[in-house]
Structure 1
Amino acid sequence: MSLNIEQARYNMVEQQVRPWEVLDPVVLEAMREVPREDFVPSRHRRLAFSDLRIPLPHDQVMMKPVEEGRMLQALQVEPGQRVLEIGTGSGFCAACLAWMGARVTTIEIHADLADSAHLRLERQGMGAVEVICADALQGFQPAQLFDVVVVTASAADVPDVVHDWVGQGGRIFAVRGCSPAMEAVCQTHVAGDRWQSESLFETDLPRLIGLEDQPVFEF
């Protein structure tokens, strides 16, 4: 392993992620141990540890490392918990969640992204992560409730159906609002239809497929 890569990884954690109030030692260790450079597209490998959103095929992106860190910290994932991720992308977030001990099911609508993420996860010894190629918003019916749901793309508001997949006490990470100033939130299922929402940070992510903004026509 290149010393330059290890130095860049150290700088990412200590100079980007930690100063963004990510102090959970398990989250910081996950971001040190899961090799982010192996999950970015090869042409962007030199940007793996930069404070940037890295482009993926189909106009998708990897979140910035600081955003991934804040997300993982807010979700408070514990070993053995069931996590559903909507939008596999590169597979890096699923890898971090699995490293933290979660049982991860991740859904990706694009077959090529699903296949490449599955291969990356297997190479990292994380073959237990279940990668499903499907449209989560069209007919997906999980057989069980999840402790955590992660939505890695944006929508005008958190999709109602996502709330149906989370058990009491469970949490959702989602991004809502409109470009260029969207809001990442963590919602906790208090009881019944009551949810508590915590604002995490501003961001700007591509829309969830099927929930794109409709054009406004003026007459």
Structure 2
Amino acid sequence: MGDVELAEALRRQGISDTRVLEAIRGLERAEFVPESMRSAAGQDSPLPIGHGQTISQPFIVAFMTQALNPQPGERVLEIGTGSGYQTAVLARLGGEVYTVETLAELAGPARERLERMGLPNIHFRVGDGTAGWPEVAPFDAIIGTAAPERLPPALYQQLRPGGRLVLPVGPLRGAQELLRVTRPSGGGAPRVEKLLGVRFVPMTSTPPPEFLH
């Protein structure tokens, strides 16, 4: 049946991209959370999924996806598969999705879940998300569902010219900001936009401060 009421609530909260709303409407968030949490799946709040990780609140998933603006046929890198909910949204938008998860305990069930749902064009890897997926770069868009203290240089380097990256950045105990970083088509400095104050679980491997401070 899908999350019709959830999609409508997100529309009232200001999510205007009809493609994003349709992608969320076509999924059931309850399928992506532990059975003990399914009664709360329709709430606009993050929920624990085990191993110290969470599934983001639906508004944040929708907001980040809208900010990323993935288009059909684009190559999209996701850092942090988690339960696979954000992955599923991206896949329903028609992208070729490459998703990296540090924790094998989450990556395995997420892969089984998404394959069972029959979502196409998803490629999986267990590994360090801060390193991206260099073998298949460049990407049109990159999205991160955990927060490094600084933007990992490898992720920016794996963006194609004109590509964009949406990622929460900041310390675990302190102010985090959701950033949209665009790599200019003609070269030069990246365009960095601060979109929203957020709070995410930390990205488990953080590189030296080589790019953003």
TM-score by length of 2: 0.89
Q: Deviations over 1:29-76 (max 9, x none)?
A: 001002211111222111112121111222111111000010111111
**Counterparts in 2 of 1:88-167, with a 5 A limit?**
88-137=81-130, 140-167=133-160
User: Could you list the runs of 5+ residues in structure 2 that have no partner in the other structure?
Assistant: 208-213
* Residues in 1 aligned to 2:81 and 2:121: alpha-carbon distance in whole angstroms: 15
Correspondence 1:21 to 2:14: yes
Structure 1 stretch displaced more, 197-206 or 62-71 = 197-206
Aligned to 1:215: none
Q: Which amino acid letter does the alignment assign opposite residue 16 of structure 2? A: L
Q: Which amino acid letter does the alignment assign opposite residue 132 of structure 1? A: R
Aligned to 1:43: 36
* Residues in 1 aligned to 2:133 and 2:45: alpha-carbon distance in whole angstroms: 32
Please say if residues 76 and 139 of structure 2, whose CA atoms lie closer than 8 Å, have aligned partners that are also in contact: yes
Superposition RMSD in Å: 1.9
Please say if residues 167 and 189 of structure 1, whose CA atoms lie closer than 8 Å, have aligned partners that are also in contact: yes
* Residues in 2 aligned to 1:130 and 1:144: alpha-carbon distance in whole angstroms: 13
Q: Cα offset for 1:180?
A: 4.5
Size of the alignment, in residue pairs?
205
Q: Which amino acid letter does the alignment assign opposite residue 195 of structure 2? A: L
Larger Cα-atom Rg: 1
Aligned to 1:189: 183
Q: Which amino acid letter does the alignment assign opposite residue 57 of structure 2? A: K
Aligned to 1:201: 196
Aligned to 1:80: 73
For 2:6, which of 5, 12, 16 is the aligned residue?
Answer: 12
Q: Cα offset for 1:188?
A: 1.2
Q: Which amino acid letter does the alignment assign opposite residue 20 of structure 2? A: V
* Residues in 2 aligned to 1:132 and 1:190: alpha-carbon distance in whole angstroms: 28
* Residues in 2 aligned to 1:10 and 1:164: alpha-carbon distance in whole angstroms: 38
* Residues in 1 aligned to 2:76 and 2:52: alpha-carbon distance in whole angstroms: 25
> Does the C-alpha gap of structure 1 residues 21 and 207 become closer, same or farther in structure 2, counting only changes over 3 Å?
same
User: Could you list the runs of 5+ residues in structure 1 that have no partner in the other structure?
Assistant: 213-219
Please say if residues 175 and 182 of structure 1, whose CA atoms lie closer than 8 Å, have aligned partners that are also in contact: yes
Q: Cα offset for 1:133?
A: 1.1
Q: Deviations over 1:112-139 (max 9, x none)?
A: 2111000110111115311111123359
Please say if residues 37 and 45 of structure 1, whose CA atoms lie closer than 8 Å, have aligned partners that are also in contact: yes
Match of 2:184, SS?
A: strand
Q: Percent identity?
A: 34
